[in-house]
Amino acid sequence: MRAQGVDLSRWDISFDPNKATKQIDFAIQKASELNWRDSKFKALWEGVKLVPIRGAYHYLRSKMGWKEQAEAFLAIVEGYDFHFFACDYEQVNNEMTATFADAAHKWMDYVSSKTGKKVLLYTNPSHYDAHLYPYGDWMKDYPLWLAQYWITPSPDKFPSLPKRRKASDWTIWQWASEINYPGHAKEYGCGATSVDLNVFNGTAAELRTWIGLAPTPEQPLTIEQRLSKLENEARIHGWNI
């Protein structure tokens, strides 16, 4: 089963995974935009830190130099136990130029070199094809966090990818948002009415391997579980206990 995750920002208001009724294997929270911290960053972190695998992203803007944004992002996430990072490359509030595409490339290279951690490119297929690929193919060197929504959403489907990526060449897929799956935030421990939902292209164990974490150690069996296991074995083998 694919690892299930949420991504969060100030729009989600609050996050408490202990109140969730759905599976949450990872969480990705917005850290910054321009050179300012997301207003709910610290509050959301209180919930995010309870999730086994954690990421942080920056919403890249064309009106400010990439390095200033990268330095601000690194300062904001410093001291927080994030396992991976992402650059959010979108059209809203941005000019989709060659300069902006190059800024995304340089931001990702810089954050990757400074942290030594995985850095994903977050975008959608149309932006990838129309606003990134015409200026180079550096994106192939980075894992893809893809936003693409089906009318009938399901985490078990497969995303439609950019023309230059093979069918399986994605790492995280944002399969649901308020656009196609409204009203499910409470099921994921959020205080808003909608939440963005994601899957990793593999199991939770494979996600741990991808970010370089050791496998989750097996929990020792309780006395009740040991007795139940023994009773099952006795029935199978015809033992008298």
What string of DSSP letters covers 69-132? HHHHHHHHHTTS--SEEEEE--STTS--SHHHHHHHHHHHHHHHHHH-SEEEEEE-HHHIIIII
Answer whether residue 197 shows pLDDT above 60: yes
What one-character DSSP code corresponds to residue 222?
P
In this prediction the pTM is: 0.89
Instruction: State the average pLDDT over residues 227-240.
Output: 66
Mean pLDDT of the chain: 93
Q: What is the pLDDT of residues 23-80, one digit of tens each?
A: 999 999 999 999 999 999 999 999 999 999 999 999 999 999 999 999 999 999 999 9
pLDDT of residue 54: 98
Q: Give whole-number Cα distances, 77 to 64, 81, 131, 144, in Å.
A: 19, 8, 28, 21
Domains, the chain, ordered by start: 4-216 (3.20.20.80)
Q: Rounded CA gap, 49 and 64, in Å?
A: 30
Q: What is the pLDDT of residues 143-184, one digit of tens each?
A: 999 999 999 999 999 999 999 999 899 999 999 999 999 999
